[in-house]
Amino acid sequence: MKKLFVYLKDYRKESVLAPLFKLLEAFFELFVPLVMASIIDRGIGSPGNSDMGHIVRMGLCLLLLAAVGLASSVTAQFFAARAAVGFSAKLRQAVFEHIQRLDFTNIDRAGTSTLITRMTSDINQVQSGVNMVLRLFLRSPIIVFGAMIMAFTIDVKSALIFVVAIPLLAVVVFGVMMITMPMYKKVQSALDRVLGITRENLTGVRVIRAFHQEEVEEKRFREQNNALSHLQTAVARISAVMNPLTYVIVNGAIIALIYTGALQVNMGNLTQGEVVAIINYMSQILVELVKLANLIVTITKALACADRVAGVLEIPAGEAAERCNTSAQPAAEEAGKPVGDTMQYSIPYLEFDHVSLTYQGAGDKTLQDVHFRVERGQTIGIIGGTGSGKSSLVNLIPGFYPVTEGAIRLEGQNIQSIPMEQLRRRIGVVPQKAVLFKGTIRSNLQWGKPDATDEELWQAIDTAQAREVVEGRDGGLDARVAQNGKNLSGGQKQRLTIARALVRKPEILILDDSASALDYATDAKLRQALKEVEKDTTTFIVSQRASTIRHADQILVLDDGMIVGIGTHEKLLEDCQVYQEIYYSQYEKEVVE
């Protein structure tokens, strides 16, 4: 929790004023029993000896105390709410920005559902905790100890009951807190699992229905949901013990006070009003300790959630983020090799130098000893069976995952020494799964280049063979796109994602099986159009279709994470058995251009 306090620094004034106004309210509240005692002893007094004027004056005093207390309470609530909401907004923004800087390895390890829970539910709990702390964390103890002190000023013997009751109450409250805090962490973890299953079911609802797995998924969800319910019930039972125990202790103390007070009044050591005042102070303690008990529950939840949120911020951002703020030139000098226009083409434009990749937590290498060179402007085809490592290979070029062995060099410079922002600006990626965002076609295409003109957009659309998609929708470029492109077909989404990558006119274009939903005629037109794009654009095409990569300058054939063949289509047909198997398995079914 301490690590999160930095996000309260802009709300120092509110964080100080909120508890101060609550203390002011508590200060006036402590005077109420004394005023009541004065009304009983002097105003009412003995029969036939009442003072109506004193009763009116003290009544007005009570109204004044109530008005001032209400104003103080409302003001404190305003400042507390402002500080808590502002704090949570800054914290949520910081967590979101940190997640954006995480490399794919850490995102995979943390899990999407966990990150969503911590950004929403957990931060909301922390916000409630901050709000309650600013309002009650000082007020309740001040009322408790202030009431005890005021009781001592009235009668020491009666006040000794407070000395016994308050420690007993503290043991109950803090004992429950120590037991429930780790349990609340388990509850939040169980909530993560429920959210994960829910997310899987919503995103994969079509697959679930296609394979008639509704009952299986319902059973799986029911099991996790019941586990969450049992955990919540268990912690609720323990938390529920707090209020009855505090009531038993406080009411027992009140009984003892009435008995002691009656004896003291009978002996003439106390007045009736003073006994009523002492009992009122004990009642105040009861109310405040009930509030404090609820506050402790809220704080316990908030602390558990704060630890989880801090855990996200403690995930290392990885080498990618560390490289974002470094300058390109020092990195180039460190590499000891020329960069950019000073590059001599005797050095390959892009080189994989005996690269291996092992995903975190995986037992075996996904890629092993991958070595090849690419010249500027070449088209590289990558083909292989399912799970051969095709996507893993192209994901290394923009630095989505760090290589575990070897090095990748761009114009002679290790990509790990290039600032990530500069590296990504030179690369256009069309991922295997076409992803569009809620908005318009224009807003989606301008992800690649925010200031792109309509002419540039249409040029990219034409190259991606998507003109009919855009012109066929009301509004053209300003046509609405639903979340994740739900109102578009698979082929339409793929063409628009290709257009989005082309808008920025990248030096390196990566098409990761991005034409799988296109028919063969459209695929052929797309390949022809890509050849006519900037001649210096180096293109990587990952595909399961031999026809898609047949005319590439180089074709890489992957099998079980290793390159088993490299060369042109004709060369591989002669001497690469894996390529022959792939090609001839498709040749009988399609006419390869």
Residue 376 has pLDDT above 50, yes or no: yes
CA–CA gap between residue 543 and residue 384 (Å, rounded): 8
Q: What is the DSSP string of 145-180?
A: HHHHHHHHHH-HHHHHHHHHHHHHHHHHHHHHHHHH
- Please, which residues have CB within 8 angstroms of residue 273's CB and are 6 or more apart in sequence? 36, 37, 38, 39, 40, 41, 42
CA–CA gap between residue 518 and residue 526 (Å, rounded): 10
Residue 340 banded pLDDT, cuts 50, 70, 90: very low
398-457 pLDDT, tens digit per residue, is 888 888 899 999 988 999 888 888 888 889 888 888 888 889 989 989 887 888 888 889
Among 15-19, 111-115, 253-257, 531-535, the range scoring the smallest mean pLDDT is: 531-535
**In this predicted model, which residue has the larger pLDDT, 280 or 49?**
280
What is the predicted pLDDT for the residue at 236? 86
What is the predicted pLDDT for the residue at 485? 84
475-509 pLDDT, tens digit per residue, is 888 899 988 888 888 888 888 988 998 888 889 99
Residue 218 has pLDDT above 90, yes or no: yes
Residue 342 has pLDDT above 70, yes or no: no
**In this predicted model, which residue has the larger pLDDT, 530 or 72?**
72
**Other C-beta atoms lying within 10 Å of the C-beta of residue 202:** 9
DSSP state of 9: G
* Percent of the chain at pLDDT exceeding 70: 92
Residue 593 banded pLDDT, cuts 50, 70, 90: very low
Cβ-in-10-Å burial (0-12, 13-18, 19+) of 232 comes to middle
Among 272-276, 292-296, 303-307, 466-470, the range scoring the smallest mean pLDDT is: 292-296
Residue 230 banded pLDDT, cuts 50, 70, 90: very high
Cβ-in-10-Å burial (0-12, 13-18, 19+) of 306 comes to buried
Name the nearest CA neighbour of 308 among 487, 182, 397: 182
Mean pLDDT score, 56-64: 87
* Percent of the chain at pLDDT exceeding 90: 17
- Residue 362 has phi, psi (to 5 degrees) of -85, 150
What is the predicted pLDDT for the residue at 1? 62
Residue 64 has pLDDT above 80, yes or no: yes
Residue 346 banded pLDDT, cuts 50, 70, 90: low
What is the predicted pLDDT for the residue at 47? 57
68-122 pLDDT, tens digit per residue, is 889 998 999 999 999 999 999 999 999 999 888 887 777 777 777 778 888 888 8
CA–CA gap between residue 518 and residue 465 (Å, rounded): 10
